[in-house]
Amino acid sequence: MSIWDRKKPSFGFISTRFAGLDGVSLETYKWTDMLRSKGCSVYFMAGELDTDPSISYIVSKAHFKHEEIFKLHHSIFVEKKRTSEISRKIQQIKEELKEEIKNYHSKFGFEILIVQNALAIPLNIPLGLAITEFIIETEIPTIAHHHDFFWERDRFNSPVASDYLRSAFPPVHPKIQHVVINSIAGHKLGSFTGASWTLIPNIVDFKMLPPEIDDFNRDLKKEIGLDEDTLLVLQPTRVVSRKGIETSLELVKRLDYPKASLVITHKAEDEGQDYLMRIEEFVKLIDVNLKIIYDRIGFKRGFDDNGRKIYTLWDVYQHADLITYPSVYEGYGNAFVESIYFRKPIVINRYPIFVADIEPKGFDVISFDNYITKQTIKKINDLLNDPEQMARMAEKNYMLGWRYLSYEMLEEKIEQLLINHYGS
């Protein structure tokens, strides 16, 4: 008998936000879909929420964009200064947030806590400290799902934060089970903290066929300013330097398609506007068509205040002819998983996690090392002109995705974490 037949525990999720199209939010929604399919209740606490209000608990200071949290973050990680006043402020907000977490737990009575990245990357130090103390004081069973760690980002290298980072990013406690999205992060977590870890990569529900073009999204190309015969090269990422957008722009410029456009679906978010300005200058320099359409993309279809259609990310995938993924670094790669789900050809830089965790599984992609060559461009042009080869590649990747990156895989992994807690 499966543990799912014996237990239907309720789960309380905590993060800085569950809203929009960031990777943490998207993966959280997939986890909750799977848990609900097993008959489990789920609840959410964050500083920003897109979730059903009846199961939500919003706390403004949990958000990394809250004014007080942002000021603390700037002092610690930008100015690298920490006064006694800053320390007191961190402790004060930590206590406030801990009380909110207690209220959240009291209101919904969930049995298992799932922390989404708030114990991995210190965008909100008081929140990480509050969660850690809540776990220790209540001994609530916890799954800490880590998407990216502070040691993976140079900007979090601050000597004045070392005590906070050691204690809460992430904490080590018998009631905490750590989940990472790639093996490299897992090995570093183990070496830094001595903690054991479970690998659960990004997922898609492969048993559900991807949606097709319909009456709502049929006009997407026209709506974003493209002709119907334009080759749509999609990079479904944020505008940040590690995403390698210059490489995609160069690729589009060099293809044998006079009408080709690079479409980017996300904005810069928390890493500033300098790189966006750099990209805008680069576009003018090489004269290539770029569409950044984050203002037309939402979690749900609808219309904005001006009556323009708001599409989902999946609407854009359906119109894409080619996916580019030239990232220098990724925690795993939501865009990769989604691309094989939509059976799209992928051009990908061999970033470290791809080499360690994805490439060995046999996915059929056009890969390159750091920069594209004439041979890379030839492979792309040949593939785009060979529908039969594209279909074979797509089917192979889809079946591998179902094996390694599916809800069924997630269900097995979570089941093992529950067994670790409840016993077999």
pLDDT at 384 over 70: yes
The answer to the question of residue 213 being in a domain is no
Residue 366 is predicted with a pLDDT of 97
Counting Cα atoms < 13 Å in the Cβ hemisphere of 356 gives 17
Residues 105 and 171 in one domain: yes
- Which structural domain range is residue 19 located in? 3-203+407-422
The answer to the question of residue 38 being in a domain is yes
pLDDT at 412 over 80: yes
- How confident is the model over 40-49, as pLDDT tens digits? 999 999 999 9
The answer to the question of residue 70 being in a domain is yes
- Residue in the block written with tokens 């890493």: 271
Q: pLDDT > 70: what percent of the chain?
A: 99
Residues 125 and 68 in one domain: yes
Helix then strand count (H, E) for the chain reads 16, 15
Per-residue DSSP letter, 321 = S
Residues 177 and 80 in one domain: yes
The H or E element that residue 387 is part of is helix 387-404
pLDDT at 269 over 70: no
* CATH (domain of 314): 3.40.50.2000
Residues 96 and 192 in one domain: yes
pLDDT-based confidence at 272, cuts 50/70/90?
A: low
Q: pLDDT > 90: what percent of the chain?
A: 86
- How confident is the model over 342-376, as pLDDT tens digits? 999 999 999 999 999 999 999 999 999 999 999 99
Q: Which residues contact 295 (CB under 8 A, 6 or more apart)?
A: 304
Angstrom distances, CA of residue 26 to CA of 30, 39, 57, 338: 7, 20, 18, 11
CA 328 – CA 325 distance, rounded (Å) = 9
The answer to the question of residue 209 being in a domain is no
Residues 228 and 169 in one domain: no
pLDDT at 24 over 80: yes
Q: Which residues contact 27 (CB under 8 A, 6 or more apart)?
A: 116, 145, 147, 181, 202, 203, 334
Residues 292 and 318 in one domain: yes
The answer to the question of residue 248 being in a domain is yes
pLDDT at 283 over 80: yes
pLDDT at 268 over 80: no
Average pLDDT value over all residues in the chain: 94
Q: Which of 254, 260, 318, 328 is nearest to 286 (CA)?
A: 254
pLDDT at 271 over 70: no
